[in-house]
Chain A
């Protein structure tokens, strides 16, 4: 049965997070999940915008939701944690604050848009594991990733504060996905700690230290790769390895969960954007064997 969703890629997936976009589309396609990109979508209003100018930030997010509602009101898949959080936060704020809702509705009216608050915002990890579910996915696995040790890393925004994807303190859904793909999740108590976020460029003294903690812990856990659910986490964990791990020769591949599942579903490396990763070769050989 084909399931249909609206797709809100956000800026990351159109840029540095392109491997996430490719692997997500490939995996969804294989599993009969149809994604239709929201026409004329704009910035989700992520990061500092909400603290600087809440009305505009919420209106930006709400415009995307209003577009989705106009398109047909299917669930909106937002793969980037930042987008997922911004859109959800906007929706919740508009429900809780009638005055804000009035201002934002008026702003959207000038663009002939009507915000009703009916669109549901989903993260693809939760869509895969809820709408299809592990038993169904397992039937489609053609290349179980036997022996592959993976460290599950959720980051912050898909868990906190809304807990729609999983329990904020002890999430397990990513581990479930890894097992479904035939891989072995390692015990990784750092799985919902901070990746450094924007601090890696803004306040590197703190931001890079946070990245280093995660890389050290992943190395100690003897994981073959870290698996992320967010383009910013993936970026932080991947690109600073040269700088942070000068004295160690090995580099740790940092994969998207969609790439992991895609490999198990038998999809090709280019189709999953694995060729775009900085540290891929060791893993790729490992998997093919």
Chain B
């Protein structure tokens, strides 16, 4: 630093947000007395156009060379004021933002204490900014390709949107087929249109799209690099059927030595059986069988008549296949990994897994599907049609013992299930709800329609489902015990079948995905958006976007809308062609580095390598995110970080505490 600092300090009222608690004129007066401060001003809204003009005018007229704005969080307006500084001809990194709103005025009602703290923070800021150095934002080119993680309806929609915009899209799906949970449903609410009929055309479009590369039965195992320049490692699990040779004739399935299907099909949640070689459902995309090594005689014991191999005219069956890794380069990533349903065994009082004819709602979807285990007509274990069916809402949701949150979709799908069960079996259907939540286009109307159809709606959280009968009429039935809070007494309702409307939860491996992609999540485990209102599909990791139920419980229309939004954000990024990289990278002072390699282990971004010749740590600047972990880990104090140099931070701390 050659020039003596001439600092301008601008304290924002933020309407009454700050002024209501902090004595702003006093902070301004105080700031004016600090060393190096040329001017201190108060303004109603510093972020407004006139506020910024004020700063620019002072820079020109008073020759300011440092700026401090005391206002809100840097998350909101650091970018704004950096631009103001640049417009005024100053290097934007010679500006510092002091947070006296989220950090001061919003967290106390004590005016005197708030004013003191604001003064201390401004003092720290003024002392810090004097030592800050001019830095340049680096610009990096952006790879125009994009990766979509998850092939459910959200992932499919995002992939198609971007592919139709001319981008090369890589779609990775863990299961043998894309389609996700939507492929399991028979009908969708509130229009009752056929789920397959609207989904399968999109699945086929994915398969046929020249811009989409589809990796099914594959998982992303590593993500390297940074916004605009990610390197993604995809692991392809062995299908033991060569996708390129197979035509999908399914003769291998027919001719498998196992005459009967006897292994639980995961797509049908174990309600139906499959052979060791199988396609999960008839409309699977790609229509290529998979051989499960846990079930196949040849893969398990090395002995089999291999009738499947004989049946295949294309020699597509290949038992030598191994898991292989593919590396792809992309500029942006859309994460649409979906959800899992609540495990109904965690509410033992509802008898799931213990009492016969108790199903989860997702199982009921399969029972109602024409391609499912009961060909669309739910029957009891003894083959009879149920005469009465109870649907219990909020299983695992809105419950202090399990998930506190509302899963949002269950009221509507429960009404849909009620309609379908009645339509297929003629059964009386009883829905047990806490509150009926039907906001959405056509949703309330659907609820009304159900009432008109004669569905029984009983308001109350069900206490238990039991086979302990108290009267002749209850013998052999499942009795639902509930306090009917509208009628004001306890009821016992005997039914033949119970459907538990389970809520949505993060995928079992959501935490692993979160770590791979460096995302954050809330206490319930869903991925967190950058801002709940204004950046709903962005994440704290630049270039990674989220869509669908991995972000929180969501129905199909919302998932598709969010997928479109995520695709648009990703397109905006890759079409810009360039990304700005903040110049916060850490640097190693080679004269101090002892080569102990402690920093290599602590770096979460794999950004530090080792120069074997000089025996010193070496930081790859493009990978460094400026987190500062290595700086504090270094026992020789050999690492420093631009814009957050130890000296600068210590000066700020000294200023705050002075």
Residues of A at the B interface (CB closer than 8 Å) are: 167-170, 189-190, 193, 213, 217
Q: Mark B458-481, 1 if CB is under 8 A from A, else 0.
A: 000000001111100000000000
**Is B354 positioned at the interface, with any CB of A under 8 Å from its CB?**
yes
Asked whether, in the complex, the Cβ of B468 is within 8 Å of the Cβ of A190, the reply is: yes
A185 to chain B, nearest CB (A): 15
Task: Tell me how many residue pairs across A and B have CB atoms closer than 8 Å.
Answer: 14
Docked-complex contact B354 and A170, CB < 8 angstroms:
yes
Report Cα–Cα, A167/B353, bound state, in Å. 14
**Chain B's nearest CB lies how many Å from the CB of A10?**
29
Q: Does B348 contact A (CB under 8 A)?
A: yes
Q: Which of A167, A190, A217 contacts B348 (CB 8 A)?
A: A167
A189 and B348 contact, CB distance less than 8 A: no
* Residues 442 to 469 of chain B near chain A (Cβ within 8 Å): 466-469
Closest to B349 in A: A169
Contact B466 A189 (CB under 8 A): yes
Chain A proximity of B464: nearest CB distance (Å): 9
- B348–A169 CB distance below 8 A: yes
CB distance from A106 to the nearest CB of B (A): 35
CB distance from B185 to the nearest CB of A (A): 31
Contact A217 B354 (CB under 8 A): no
Which A residues lie within 8 Å of B348 (CB)? 167-170
User: What residues of chain A lie closer than 8 Å to B469, measured between beta carbons?
Assistant: 217
A170 to B345 alpha-carbon distance, docked (Å): 11
Please, which residue of chain B has its CB at the minimum distance from the CB of A214? B468
Chain B residues with CB under 8 A of A189: 466-468
The smallest beta-carbon distance between A2 and chain B, in angstroms, is 38
Q: What are 14 A-B pairs at a CB distance below 8 A? A: A167-B348, A168-B348, A169-B348, A169-B349, A170-B348, A170-B354, A189-B466, A189-B467, A189-B468, A190-B468, A193-B468, A213-B470, A217-B468, A217-B469
How near does chain A come to B546, taking the closest CB pair, in angstroms? 37
Q: How far is the CB of B580 from chain A (nearest CB, A)?
A: 54
Complex CA distance for A188 and B324, rounded to whole angstroms: 54
The B555-612 residues at the A interface (CB cut-off 8 A) are: none
Q: Which residues of B contact A193 (CB under 8 A)?
A: 468
- Which residues of B sit under 8 angstroms from A168, Cβ to Cβ? 348
A169 to B469, CA, bound (A): 16
Nearest A residue to B466 via CB reads: A189
For A169, the chain B residues whose CB sits under 8 A away are 348-349
- A234–B381 Cα distance when bound, in Å, is 37
Chain B residues within CB distance 8 Å of chain A: 348-349, 354, 466-470
CB of B300, distance to nearest CB on chain A (Å): 32
**Complex alpha-carbon distance, A99 and B354, angstroms:** 43
Complex interface: chain A residues within 8 A of B354 (CB): 170
Chain A nearest Cβ from B474, distance in angstroms:
11
Chain B proximity of A252: nearest CB distance (Å) = 17
How far apart sit A213 and B348, CA to CA, in the bound complex (Å)? Answer: 22
Q: Which residues of B contact A217 (CB under 8 A)?
A: 468-469
CA distance A169 to B468 in the complex (A): 13
Residues of A within 8 A of B349 (CB): 169
CB neighbours of A213 from chain B (8 A): 470
Chain B residue numbers with a CB within 8 Å of A170 are 348, 354
Which B residues lie within 8 Å of A167 (CB)?
348
Distance between A206 CB and nearest chain B CB, rounded to angstroms: 13
- With a 10 A CB-CB cut-off, give which of A167, A189, A217 has the most chain B CB atoms: A189
The CA-CA distance from A170 to B351 in the complex, in Å, is 9
B159 CB to nearest chain A CB (Å):
44
Bound complex: CA A189 to CA B470 (Å):
11
B548 to chain A minimum Cβ distance, whole angstroms, is 34
Complex Cα–Cα for A244 and B349 (A): 30
The smallest beta-carbon distance between B594 and chain A, in angstroms, is: 50
Q: Which chain B residue has the least Cβ–Cβ distance from A187?
A: B467
Closest to A170 in B: B354
12 additional contacts, CB 8 Å, given A189-B468, A190-B468?
A: A167-B348, A168-B348, A169-B348, A169-B349, A170-B348, A170-B354, A189-B466, A189-B467, A193-B468, A213-B470, A217-B468, A217-B469
**Bound CA span A168–B347, Å:** 11
- Measured CB to CB, the nearest residue on chain B to A191 is B468
Bound Cα distance A189, B475 (Å): 12
A101 to B513, CA, bound (A): 46
Please report the C-alpha to C-alpha distance between residue A168 and residue B349 in the assembled complex, in whole angstroms.
Answer: 9
Output the least CB separation between A189 and chain B (Å): 4
Closest to B479 in A: A189
When chains A and B are docked, how far (Å) is the Cα of A208 from the Cα of B354? 29
A20 to B633, CA, bound (A): 66
Chain A min CB distance to B154 (Å): 37
Contacting residues, chain A, for B467 (C-beta < 8 A): 189
Min Cβ gap A128→B in Å is 24
4 A-B pairs closest in CB distance: A169-B348, A189-B468, A190-B468, A189-B467
A195 to B166, CA, bound (A): 72
In the bound assembly, the distance between CA atoms of A217 and B474 in angstroms comes to 12
Q: Which of B354, B466, B470 has the most CB of A within 10 A?
A: B470
Q: How far apart sit A135 and B348, CA to CA, in the bound complex (Å)? A: 29
CA–CA, A190 to B479, complex, Å?
13
Chain B residue at minimum C-beta to C-beta distance from A188: B468
For residue B75, give the distance in angstroms from its CB to the closest CB of chain A: 41
User: Which residues of chain A are within 8 angstroms of B466 by Cβ–Cβ distance?
Assistant: 189
Nearest Cβ distance between residue B396 and chain A, in whole angstroms? Answer: 15
- Residue of B with least CB distance to A217: B468
Chain A residue contacts of B468, Cβ below 8 A: 189-190, 193, 217
Residue of B at shortest CB range from A189?
Answer: B468
Closest to B467 in A: A189
CA of A213 to CA of B479, assembled, Å: 15
Contacts of A190 in B (CB 8 A): 468
What distance in Å separates the Cβ of B498 from its nearest Cβ neighbour in chain A? 15
Complex: chain B residue closest to A169, CB-CB: B348
Q: B470 to chain A: which residues have CB within 8 Å? A: 213
* Nearest CB of chain A from residue B135's CB, rounded to whole Å: 54
Chain A residue with minimal CB distance to B354? A170
Residue of A nearest to B348 (CB): A169
- Bound-complex Cα distance A170 to B467 (A): 12
B500 to chain A, nearest CB (A): 15
Distance in angstroms from A151 CB to nearest chain B CB is 12
A213 to B469, CA, bound (A): 9
Q: How far is the CB of B395 from chain A (nearest CB, A)?
A: 15
Query: What separation, in Å, do the CA atoms of A207 and B265 have in the docked complex?
Result: 49
Cα A167 to Cα B468 with chains together (Å) = 18
B424 to chain A, nearest CB (A): 29
Could you tell me the distance in whole angstroms from the C-beta of A77 to the nearest C-beta in chain B? 28
Q: Complex formed: what's the CA distance from A205 to B261 in Å?
A: 56
- Cα distance, A68 to B467, chains bound together (Å): 42
Closest beta carbon of chain A to B559's beta carbon, Å = 35
Bound form: Cα–Cα A24–B469 in Å: 33
How far apart are B577's CB and chain A's nearest CB, in angstroms?
A: 60
Interface centre among B354, B466, B467, B468 (most CB of A within 10 A): B468
CA distance A57 to B302 in the complex (A): 69
> Once bound together, how far apart are the Cα atoms of A269 and B7, in whole Å?
99
A170 and B470 alpha carbons, distance in the complex (Å):
19
Q: Compute how far the CA of A23 lies from the CA of B348 in the bound complex, rounded to whole angstroms.
A: 34
Assembly CA distance A173 to B647 (angstroms) = 67
A228 and B524 CA atoms in complex are apart in Å by 42
Q: What's the nearest-Cβ distance from chain B to residue A8, in Å? A: 30
- Expressed in whole angstroms, the minimum distance between the Cβ of A160 and any Cβ of chain B is 12
Minimum Cβ distance to chain A for residue B467 (Å): 5
Give the most central of A168, A170, A193, A217: most B CB within 10 Å: A170
Q: How far is the CA of A145 from the CA of B606 in the complex (A)?
A: 68
| Chain B residue with Cβ nearest A168 | B348
